[in-house]
Amino acid sequence: MTGLLRILARRHGRWAGTWIGVVGVLVAGTCSAYADTYPTAESRRVAVARAQDDAASLLLYGRLPDPGTPAQMFGWEIGTFVTLIAALLGLMLAVRVTRAAEDDGTVELVRSCGVERDAPLRAGLVLAGLVGAALGAVAGGALALQAGAVPGADARGCLAFGAVVTATYLLMAGVGCVLAQLLPTARGARMGGALVLGVAFLLRGAADVLDVPPLGWLSPLGLRGSVGLFADDDVRPLGVAAVACLALVLAATWLDRRRELGSALWSAPPRSSGRLRVRSATGLAGRLGARSALTWAAAVALGGAVFALIGTGVVESARDGSLEGGFLGAQLDGADPAVAYLAYTGTVVGIVVAASALLLAAQAVGEERAGLTEQVRSLGAAPAAPLGAWWGVAAAGSALTLVVSGVATAAVTALGIDGSLADDAFWYVVGQWPSVLVLLGVAVLLVGAAPRLAWAAWLPFGMSVALAMIGELLGVPASVIDLGAFGHLPVPGWGAGDLLAPALLAALGLGAGGLGLLVVRWRDVVTG
């Protein structure tokens, strides 16, 4: 099994290491800012009182316990993002080393060499566990190095923070391993895991908004609140999480032994046996990606509407001067709170839509490795046609999602915030399309150059998200924040100057994507 573990580490170590580094930078770069943001006991008292009574804050971050030290506020706000990243990393890595390794033939090749039947799964589980331990060590260690500058960040709290990050990661990794046995493809396992993660977020949010703690106990994302970081630092929930992780591992092992290689215990419903009538690579990509695009459109529209609806309390807090400092305070600073919150909502929606577009574009890699691209090109399609088709589907799907979400957000704004701002709410969402296009263009360029580089498309995405969401909180200069894809919102009452940045982003995206279609002609199709 040692050899298998080394192979998996070589294949996935750089990718996992990048995410671990992102978490370390996020923790080290933000924790000390909370001591400056809330310098006095009075400022902390007001912030804690508002956070404990605001629906938007409760839904996003959970409950902030008393007395609200800077360390607690860090764990409350930034801890939300860190644990969410950990959960995503655990899910994606678990699927990569299990179902995806079966889909690409790696497990079959390894078994043909005479290794034990369970060896590939055990190696994948060990690698996932090592990555989780490294993730928690980096998160807790980065915080411990800054502990002296953050009141309330004692050694026990830093250790508990790292343990929570690791436990959250391992819980979602266990879920990913189980889904990899139940569902027939890696894509299906990822989509199932995304659904589980969405339900986990809703359960945690409902537990805090409705003040029903048992709901939060059912969610991996609720572990942070159950432990009570930098307050109680209760280790009992971590013990329960460890038992749950062990149960998931045993379940995945048990399920793996009861199925054949490449099969699934939960088969997809049979599809129509009728002929798939398409006349081009674009039509084929559209048929294959339509369900995902429509699902994203519905989900993002609902989420954007809910996010706008719960913003009423945030806007009122900002208008009466009670929302100062912190993450939301930085987002709403320097503008009319209602307008600033709608702009912030548009940014959040744009981030989610950009992620969905990158996932759709990544389907081009999956189809190429599965051999479908080779078949399409054998029928006379141009070398760039399959990649261009997925680019078009991702761009059109993101546009549809933004329009639907913009309409929903505008309707909620008219009913719950300010009717005169409904048009602005719509354009703040729809105006994120150039931001999506530039990130999508970079992804197409990387895939066109080499499918193995597709993962690197998430680096500019992650940097843009960090600059847009926490750049002002960290005091990053505006000129640097503007380098991100999400720092250029449309301005109501547009002028020619207001359109320059979105037009430039769109042009860069189209140029990068066009270059990707050009370079894909110079390489061979990759299969397997």
The confidence band for 428, taking pLDDT boundaries of 50, 70 and 90, is confident
Q: Which of 38-52, 72-86, 430-444, 513-527 has the lowest mean pLDDT?
A: 38-52
Cα separation of 374 and 367, whole Å?
9
Residues 102 and 202 in one domain: yes
Is 501 among the domain residues?
yes
Give the dihedral sign, CA 155/34/29/80.
positive
Residues 145 and 35 in one domain: yes
Residues 414 and 481 in one domain: yes
Q: Which of 95-99, 396-400, 419-423 has the lowest mean pLDDT?
A: 419-423
Average pLDDT over residues 340-350: 82
pLDDT (0 to 100) of residue 490: 58
Is 133 among the domain residues?
yes
Is 491 among the domain residues?
yes
Question: What is the span of the domain harbouring residue 128?
Answer: 1-265
Which of 328, 301, 275, 244 is closest to 73 using CA atoms?
A: 328
Residues 243 and 305 in one domain: no
The better pLDDT of the pair 467, 68 is held by: 467
Cα separation of 486 and 364, whole Å?
25
In this predicted structure, the answer to whether residue 264 has a pLDDT above a threshold of 90 is no
Cα separation of 64 and 68, whole Å?
7
Q: Which of 31-45, 122-136, 260-274, 444-458 has the lowest mean pLDDT?
A: 260-274
Is 275 among the domain residues?
no
> Which of 233, 265, 297 is the last residue in one of the domains?
265
The better pLDDT of the pair 74, 332 is held by: 74
pLDDT (0 to 100) of residue 217: 87
505, 434 in Cβ contact below 8 A? yes
How far is CA 192 from each of CA 97, 179, 349, rounded to the nearest angstrom? 16, 7, 21
Cα separation of 350 and 352, whole Å?
5
pLDDT (0 to 100) of residue 442: 94
Residues 340 and 223 in one domain: no
In this predicted structure, the answer to whether residue 310 has a pLDDT above a threshold of 80 is no
The confidence band for 517, taking pLDDT boundaries of 50, 70 and 90, is very high
pLDDT (0 to 100) of residue 159: 93
In this predicted structure, the answer to whether residue 315 has a pLDDT above a threshold of 60 is no
Is 476 among the domain residues?
yes
In this predicted structure, the answer to whether residue 451 has a pLDDT above a threshold of 60 is yes
Q: Which of 46-60, 87-101, 161-175, 468-482 has the lowest mean pLDDT?
A: 46-60
pLDDT (0 to 100) of residue 484: 85
Q: Which of 171-180, 204-213, 479-488 has the lowest mean pLDDT?
A: 479-488
227, 233 in Cβ contact below 8 A? yes
In this predicted structure, the answer to whether residue 417 has a pLDDT above a threshold of 60 is yes
> Which of 238, 265, 292 is the last residue in one of the domains?
265
139, 153 in Cβ contact below 8 A? no
pLDDT (0 to 100) of residue 131: 94
What's the structural domain count of the chain?
2
Residues 37 and 66 in one domain: yes
How far is CA 448 from each of CA 397, 458, 513, rounded to the nearest angstrom? 20, 16, 9
In this predicted structure, the answer to whether residue 213 has a pLDDT above a threshold of 90 is no
In this predicted structure, the answer to whether residue 46 has a pLDDT above a threshold of 80 is no
Cα separation of 169 and 30, whole Å?
21
The confidence band for 313, taking pLDDT boundaries of 50, 70 and 90, is low
Is 108 among the domain residues?
yes
Residues 206 and 84 in one domain: yes
Residues 216 and 101 in one domain: yes
Average pLDDT over residues 196-210: 86
Residues 416 and 504 in one domain: yes
Is 1 among the domain residues?
yes
Average pLDDT over residues 194-220: 86
In this predicted structure, the answer to whether residue 34 has a pLDDT above a threshold of 80 is no
The confidence band for 49, taking pLDDT boundaries of 50, 70 and 90, is confident
Average pLDDT over residues 355-369: 86
Is 270 among the domain residues?
no
Residues 186 and 319 in one domain: no
> Which of 232, 265, 298 is the last residue in one of the domains?
265
**pLDDT mean across residues, the chain:** 82
The distance in angstroms from the start CA to the end CA of the chain is: 23
Residues 39 and 74 in one domain: yes
For 172-197, write each residue's pLDDT tens digit. 999 999 999 998 888 788 888 888 98
The better pLDDT of the pair 419, 401 is held by: 401
The confidence band for 13, taking pLDDT boundaries of 50, 70 and 90, is confident
Residue 447's φ and ψ, nearest 5 degrees, are: -65, -40
pLDDT (0 to 100) of residue 327: 47
The better pLDDT of the pair 385, 105 is held by: 385
The label of the residue with tokens 């009538």 reads 277
Residues 42 and 69 in one domain: yes
Average pLDDT over residues 305-333: 56
